[in-house]
Amino acid sequence: MPLVPASGDPVLQIKDVDLVRDRRLLLEQVSLRVQPGEHWALLGPNGAGKSTLLSILGAYRHPTRGTAEILGQLLGRVDVHRLRGLIGQVNPHHPVQSQSRTVHQVVLTGATGTTEPVPRWTPTPAELDRAAELMALMGLERLRDARWANLSHGERGRTLIARALMPSPRLLLLDEPATGLDVAARERLLESIDGLRERHPDMASILVTHHLEELPASTGHAMLLRAGRVLASGAVDDVLTTENVSACFDHPIAIHRRAGRWTATAGRVPQRPAEG
């Protein structure tokens, strides 16, 4: 049976998920439903459970309680190795053992789902065309033969996104893709993410970050996590409010949105009028 959801079915459906490790409750009653073409932000302070939740969404962990359906398949009843191959995953700490690998070689590992080229494996003409298309999409044509060791953080980030897109995933998971980038590199990366979302309208994505400034303008939904629990979830303008974000980070933070992008500054949180 193909590991793809039927048209119109959710790409992700997480219901009442708990995750316990070493007697610690890392996630508690987390639910999330993501439809094709939706782009979610997952935010929260350090230790909130963002990366832990992402590991379930990427089929690397199973929930202790609750259910997790990914691409229409229930974790616990599916070959996770096959499922992972259909999910695009971007980790800024992606392990490239040989620093002499070129951008082209790293992108092609997305076709095999490995961190290094597979011995005696030869890409097909279609896979070579796909790699060239994705490098062009991410602005990497001139860096095709550049060595991994010589790339900037931003160039590595765009290379890893191209790699993640090799299997034409229905779901793209981005774990803090702007980590370590300067302002210019961050803006180029976010423009690239907006562009690929526009070109792949059925692809869903979830981007994890600590910083609202790192959210692409195409973000339409958001979830706030605090201490492993969902504080708010839904349409982005309903979730990313001064009140919600201040409660999530336990600090007064004023939220502003201009030209589709967000800024967060320390500021007073408006007080609700007294009842009575």
Same domain, 67 and 111: no
Residues 30 and 44 in one domain: yes
Longest dimension (CA), the chain: 76
What per-residue confidence (pLDDT) applies to 35? 96
Q: How far apart are CA 262 and CA 140, in angstroms?
A: 27
Last residue of a domain, one of 114, 144, 168: 168
- The total domain count for the chain is 2
**Which residue, 105, 136, 168, sits at the end of a domain?**
168
Tell me, what's the pLDDT at 153?
85
Distance from C-alpha of 186 to C-alpha of 167, rounded to nearest angstrom: 25
Instruction: Tell me, yes or no, whether 271 and 200 share the same domain.
Output: yes
Domain that holds residue 108: 90-168
Q: Are residues 69 and 184 in the same domain?
A: yes
Domain-ending residue, one of 147, 168, 189: 168
Residues 175 and 164 in one domain: no
Both 162 and 175 in a single domain?
Answer: no
Nearest Cα to Cα of residue 126 among 168, 169, 71, 84: 168
Instruction: Find the CATH number of the domain harbouring 234.
Output: 3.40.50.300
Per-residue pLDDT at 268: 62
Sheet holding 39-43, edge to edge: 87-90, 171-175, 204-209, 39-43, 221-226, 229-235
Each residue's pLDDT tens digit, 60-108 = 999 999 999 999 999 999 998 888 888 998 987 777 777 789 999 999 9
pLDDT beneath 50, residues of the chain = 1-2, 273-276
| Interatomic CA distance for residues 181 and 166, integer angstroms | 24
pLDDT attached to residue 276: 44
pLDDT for the residue 1: 42
Burial zone of 275 (CB within 10 Å; 0-12 exposed, 13-18 middle, 19+ buried)? exposed
